[in-house]
Amino acid sequence: MTAPTHAPVLQVDALVTTFTTPDEVVRAVDDVSFVLYPGRILGIVGESGSGKSVTARSIMRMVHAPGRVESGCIMLGDRDLRNLDERAMRSVRGRDVAMIFQDPQAALNPVIKIGDQIIESLQIHGMGAKKAKARALELLSQVGIPNPEEAFERYQHQYSGGMRQRVVIAIALANNPSVLIADEPTTALDVTIQAQILELLRKLRTDLGIAILLITHDMGVVAEMCDDVLVMYKGKVVERGPTAKVLAAPEHEYTISLMNAVPRMDSPLRAPFEPSGPPALEVSDLRTDVNAGQRSVFRRKAPFYAVDGVSIAVHPGETVALVGESGCGKSTLSRTIVGIYGSAGGTIRVGGRDVTAMTPADRRHVTRGVQYVFQDPYSSLNPRRTAGQSIEEALRVAGTPASKIRERSIELMRTVGLPAEHLDRYPYAFSGGQRQRIGIARALAGKAKVLVLDEPVSALDVSIQAEILDLLMRLQAEHGLGYLFISHDLAVVREISHRVAVMYKGKIVEQGTTQEIFEAARDPYTQRLLASTPKLDVEDRP
Amino acid sequence: MIRYLLGRIPSILLVIFLASIVAFILPRLAPGDPAVVMAGPDPTPEQVEAVREAAGFNRPLIEQYLSWVLGLFRGDLGVSFILNRPIGELILSRVESTLQLAGLAAVFMILLGFALGILGGSRLRRGSRLALDMFNTAMLATPPFLVALVLILVFGIWLRILPVSGEVGLSENFGLGLQYLLLPAAALALTQAAVVGRLLQTSMLTTRGEEFIDLAVAKGASPARVTFRHVLPASLDAAIVSIGLRIGELLSGAIIIEAIFARNGLGQLAVQAVNNRDYFLIQTLVIGAVVIAVLSQLISEVVMASLDPRIRLES
């Protein structure tokens, strides 16, 4: 890492942004300062609510009400952006400072053609129509979109997530900005796509000498991308420095605990699992046609097997991870197991009983044996029911006698590490991690032997993620639970699984012990997934 | 698109068939006997019976229904008993008046609805927001006949600038016809416009929270550009559906408005037909209204699909 030789492009000094609520004034960004040099990538890391996105929006003067930049200065070259009038600020946005967003699907206008969205950012800053079109085509090929001419006329819903993010980047690059603010640019993408987008950003940095402010919660992304890093916690910068130093030898206690919570690709594996009996859940040659039942008057949709000949078994006390990227069929598989989708072939056995037909009696048997924990703890709890009501309902369904329900609810709350008083709270009063604990408590109500965990920690911050993983491992040891753990995050999978099955386009391409998969993967797709997962080691940078 | 429209044909035919049954049964379930009305003042039972025989009211219901429907297919709408004129001719003579009224009202509804919606869907100061909400709520809560009376009072009696009674066809004298049309059309449209405006406002405010609006701002777009190029086109769905549904509402509203402004339209014809138990006329008017409602809904779906590339009309 050579020392920067250029003058800084962006200097933020003592920035304070507040949100005024009826109860209090929250200092979302509290005395944040940093300097950004051309051709360098500065990372801002922190967990949700740390103020990293508000910092980015403050620079763009795009903080949503009731937020307000209170004090500090934001020097772009020799101009303080805080002193510009709105009109002058508009000419800075998109021309000098551009922004890319987390979710490209949400960030692109659904009803305007891709080409017109790029042209717009050029025309706003005064380029003529003909020149703008030529430049837009050039940008599309620069960000690696095949067939720019064709892409120009299409809409965002006709593209995959990775392609959409390339379009968002093309829009940001349109006017050759000197600063690019990337707010979680790869969080919504699959890991192999993430690797491609990060590669693209690195290339643009080198080729165009752009300064990038990269906001992320992912330490792996920081390790791969950033020259320097700021760690934010509750609105303040708690640590700063060159990436290698901050990641390898953090000084502030928050950074230390954060780094300890991050699942590492080199941490010790779980002890191998020896099955001591028949599997609690066994699926063989399962197929699911997701187009079944979608019939119209004239024709029937051609069958589409999202799950195509999958065999997998989960023993009591064992964690089997199912990894794969979005659309590979992993969620369809789990939903077929609990009977949300009908199967088109193969068998499902729960506790030795064949339940493939999913008769009402089969369903009762499945409900007793297998429970589901959802990814999003925010939407999987009914907002109008207290935690207690949600758990009590699950207990009643499981046939717990009325006299025992309260007692069992309290017991379940203790099991997942929540105080009994919290039974009377509504979901909004809980944090994400606490909600996921309630989701787990609900799943445990019926004494199920197998939990299907569908991305149970993906929506959580790393420190909370570590706590939930610990809880899951403890419950497994105490109750002999079998887990079918669905995830796209290989580092998490490596930490919790005994066995791993890799799914690609509806089929399991490779299955083995965690050690076999992570140390001697044979399938090229598995190898690609592993290579794409960001490592925490800065020296290992691609 | 063509395939989609072909795919909709069965359900449209079913709706019209069911509507024809309802239109046929409903007047016959209502108390009163058309034969009595037709037979003139103080008829003897024999006279009534003779009239009933002549009009075919003593034939089985199925037979009466079939002969009516077959007549419709042949273009023969039947004859009004009371007015003693072919129904086709009766409707044709009145249809221009009502179409002009409903057409101008639809234009008012769309223009005013969009104006209210775009204004309400923009960032406003607290005072302006309050004023707009009050106006909108007042419009929503005021029935068309009350709006009509207020308009008559203001424009016809105090200001004396617009005629409040009677009509002139647009085809005869466009300028004068328009003068006669303005107040009734406005009275008919205001309440509906408030509904359209409220829906558009809600979806625009929701759209403003979307990330692609942030991206537009981050591009450096001006507030006007953000509103008209990004927010509005992505917020039209609900408003267009409601416009499709409201067209039918305008037709039914025309009945009262025509009475207030003394216009000789289909609404007045319908009221007369019901009062006189003029079965064939009622049936035909009901079917006509259903067909118009179905068509306007279909058109709104096509418009929506052409504005929003995410909606592909597939069977």
Do both A312 and A376 map to the same domain? yes
Do both A378 and A335 map to the same domain? yes
Do both A52 and A172 map to the same domain? no
Put simply, whether A269 touches B (Cβ < 8 Å) is no
In a domain, A84, yes or no: no
Q: Is the ipTM of this complex over 0.90?
A: no
Partner-chain contact A93 B220, CB within 8 Å: yes
Q: Phi-psi category of A329—alpha, beta or left, where left has phi over 0 and alpha has psi -120 to 50?
A: left
Partner-chain contact B212 A103, CB within 8 Å: no
Put simply, whether A176 touches B (Cβ < 8 Å) is no
Do both A130 and A223 map to the same domain? no
What confidence tier does B108 reach under pLDDT thresholds 50, 70, 90?
Answer: very high
Taking Cα atoms as reference points, which of A61, A62, A67, A63 lies closest to residue A79? A61
Rg for chain B, CA atoms, rounded? 24
Structural domain span for residue A204: 1-78+178-262
By Cβ distance, the residue of B10, B214, B229 closest to A101 is: B214
The dihedral of CA A416, A422, A423, A428: what is its sign? negative
Mutation to test the B interface, candidates A108, A111, A114, most B Cβ within 10 Å: A111
In a domain, B119, yes or no: yes
Once rounded to an integer, what is the mean pLDDT over residues B165-190? 86
pLDDT at A496: 92
Arithmetic mean of pLDDT over chain A: 89
Do both A344 and A216 map to the same domain? no
* Residues of A in Cβ contact (< 8 Å) with B210: 106
Put simply, whether A84 touches B (Cβ < 8 Å) is no
In a domain, B1, yes or no: no
Number of domain units in chain B: 1
Put simply, whether A63 touches B (Cβ < 8 Å) is no
CA dist., res. A188 & res. A373, Å (int): 21
Number of domain units in chain A: 3
Once rounded to an integer, what is the mean pLDDT over residues B48-66? 80
In a domain, B170, yes or no: yes
In a domain, A274, yes or no: no
> What distances in angstroms separate CA A32 from CA A28, A70, A71, A254, A380, one per listed residue?
10, 12, 10, 17, 36
Q: Give the highest mean pLDDT range of A51-55, A372-376, A380-384.
A: A51-55
Taking Cα atoms as reference points, which of A129, A70, A62, A128 lies closest to residue A90? A62
Do both A170 and A182 map to the same domain? no
By Cβ distance, the residue of B10, B212, B220 closest to A108 is: B212
Put simply, whether B306 touches A (Cβ < 8 Å) is no
CA dist., res. A371 & res. A350, Å (int): 11
Q: Give yes or no for a cis peptide into B184 (omega within 30° of 0).
A: no
Partner-chain contact A94 B220, CB within 8 Å: yes
| Per-residue pLDDT at A284 exceeds 60 | yes
pLDDT tens digits, one per residue of A69-125 = 999 999 998 899 999 999 999 999 999 999 998 888 899 998 899 999 999 999 999
By Cβ distance, the residue of B217, B308, B315 closest to A298 is: B315
Q: Which of A166-170, A297-301, B268-272 has the lowest mean pLDDT?
A: A297-301
| Per-residue pLDDT at A56 exceeds 60 | yes
In a domain, B183, yes or no: yes
**Are A69 and A56 contacting, i.e. CB atoms less than 8 angstroms apart?**
no
CA distance A106 to chain B (A): 5
| Per-residue pLDDT at A331 exceeds 70 | yes
By Cβ distance, the residue of B210, B218, B308 closest to A60 is: B218
CA dist., res. B58 & res. B45, Å (int): 14
CA dist., res. A503 & res. A443, Å (int): 25
Residues A360-368: contacts with CB under 8 Å, at least 24 apart: A363/A339, A366/A337, A366/A338, A366/A339, A367/A397, A367/A398, A367/A446, A368/A398, A368/A446, A368/A447, A368/A448
Amino acid code (one letter) for B259? A
Partner-chain contact B225 A124, CB within 8 Å: yes
Once rounded to an integer, what is the mean pLDDT over residues A395-417? 89
CA dist., res. A484 & res. A312, Å (int): 10
Put simply, whether A88 touches B (Cβ < 8 Å) is no
DSSP letter at A406 equals H
In a domain, B68, yes or no: no
In a domain, A270, yes or no: no
What per-residue string of b and e applies to A148-168 under the rule 16 or more CB within 10 Å gives b? beebbebbbeebebbbbbbbb
- Which tokens belong to A372? 């589901």
Put simply, whether A107 touches B (Cβ < 8 Å) is yes
Partner-chain contact A101 B308, CB within 8 Å: no
CA distance A99 to chain B (A): 6
Arithmetic mean of pLDDT over chain B: 85
Roughly what angle, to the nearest 10 degrees, separates helices B237-260 and B87-120? 130
**Are A214 and A231 contacting, i.e. CB atoms less than 8 angstroms apart?**
no
Partner-chain contact B229 A120, CB within 8 Å: yes
Do both A101 and A37 map to the same domain? no
CA dist., res. A13 & res. A35, Å (int): 8
pTM (2 d.p.): 0.81
* Residues of B in Cβ contact (< 8 Å) with A107: 211-212, 214-215
In a domain, A275, yes or no: no
Do both A103 and A135 map to the same domain? yes
Q: For tokens 């699911």, what's the residue? A: A288
Do both A443 and A385 map to the same domain? yes
CA dist., res. A286 & res. A300, Å (int): 22
3-class DSSP state for residue A295?
Answer: strand
pLDDT at A187: 84
- Which tokens belong to B310? 């995410």
Q: For tokens 């509290």, what's the residue? A: A30
CA dist., res. A411 & res. A420, Å (int): 8
pLDDT at B306: 82
More confident residue, B82 or B140: B140
Q: For tokens 């949100």, what's the residue? A: A19
Which stretches of chain B are DSSP H helices?
A: 2-29, 34-38, 45-55, 61-74, 87-120, 126-141, 144-151, 174-208, 211-218, 223-225, 237-260, 266-275, 279-307
CA distance B298 to chain A (A): 18
Do both A368 and A511 map to the same domain? yes
3-class DSSP state for residue A287?
Answer: strand
Do both A429 and A323 map to the same domain? yes
Partner-chain contact A99 B215, CB within 8 Å: yes
- Which tokens belong to B128? 């302006």
**Are A60 and A89 contacting, i.e. CB atoms less than 8 angstroms apart?**
no
Mutation to test the B interface, candidates A61, A109, A117, A159, most B Cβ within 10 Å: A109
- From A153, which residue of chain B is nearest by alpha-carbon distance? B309
| Per-residue pLDDT at B213 exceeds 70 | yes
Angle at A405 between CA A401 and CA A407, to 5 degrees: 125
In a domain, A86, yes or no: no
What per-residue string of b and e applies to A226-252 under the rule 16 or more CB within 10 Å gives b? bbbbbbbbebbbbbbbebbebbeebee
Residues 6+ apart with CB under 8 A from B265: B94, B97, B98, B101, B254, B258
Which stretches of A416-489 are DSSP H helices?
A: 432-444, 462-479
pLDDT at A1: 45
Q: Which of A186-195, A291-300, A449-458 has the lowest mean pLDDT?
A: A291-300
pLDDT tens digits, one per residue of A428-447 = 888 888 889 999 999 998 88
In a domain, A87, yes or no: no
pLDDT at A463: 86
Put simply, whether B225 touches A (Cβ < 8 Å) is yes
CATH number at residue A495: 3.40.50.300
Put simply, whether A103 touches B (Cβ < 8 Å) is yes
Q: Which of A347-351, B104-108, B158-162 has the lowest mean pLDDT?
A: B158-162
CA dist., res. A141 & res. A149, Å (int): 9
Once rounded to an integer, what is the mean pLDDT over residues B248-267? 84
Mutation to test the A interface, candidates B211, B235, B237, most A Cβ within 10 Å: B211
CA distance B22 to chain A (A): 26
- Which tokens belong to B212? 């692609």
Q: Which of A156, A176, A196 is at the close of a domain?
A: A176
| Per-residue pLDDT at B98 exceeds 90 | no
CB atoms under 10 Å from CB of B131, counted, come to 12
Partner-chain contact B308 A171, CB within 8 Å: no
By Cβ distance, the residue of A60, A109, A297 closest to B230 is: A109
What confidence tier does A298 reach under pLDDT thresholds 50, 70, 90?
Answer: low
What confidence tier does A299 reach under pLDDT thresholds 50, 70, 90?
Answer: low
- Which tokens belong to A125? 């800053």
pLDDT at A5: 62
pLDDT tens digits, one per residue of A119-161 = 999 999 999 999 999 999 999 998 888 889 999 999 988 888 8
In a domain, B254, yes or no: yes
DSSP-assigned beta bridge partners for residue A512: A500
CA distance A94 to chain B (A): 4
* Residues of A in Cβ contact (< 8 Å) with B217: 60, 62, 93
Q: What are phi and psi of B248, to 5 degrees?
A: -60, -40
Do both A324 and A354 map to the same domain? yes
Element holding A16 (H helix, E strand): strand A10-20
Partner-chain contact A110 B212, CB within 8 Å: yes
More confident residue, B304 or A484: A484
CATH number at residue B189: 1.10.3720.10
Put simply, whether A124 touches B (Cβ < 8 Å) is yes
Structural domain span for residue B170: 94-268
CA dist., res. A41 & res. A198, Å (int): 12
pLDDT tens digits, one per residue of B288-302 = 888 888 888 888 888
Once rounded to an integer, what is the mean pLDDT over residues B188-211? 92
**Are A91 and A125 contacting, i.e. CB atoms less than 8 angstroms apart?**
yes
Percentage above 90 pLDDT, chain A? 51
CA dist., res. B138 & res. B116, Å (int): 13
Put simply, whether A161 touches B (Cβ < 8 Å) is no
CA distance A292 to chain B (A): 17
By Cβ distance, the residue of A93, A155, A296 closest to B219 is: A93
By Cβ distance, the residue of B210, B219, B308 closest to A94 is: B219
pLDDT at A4: 53
Once rounded to an integer, what is the mean pLDDT over residues B266-289? 83
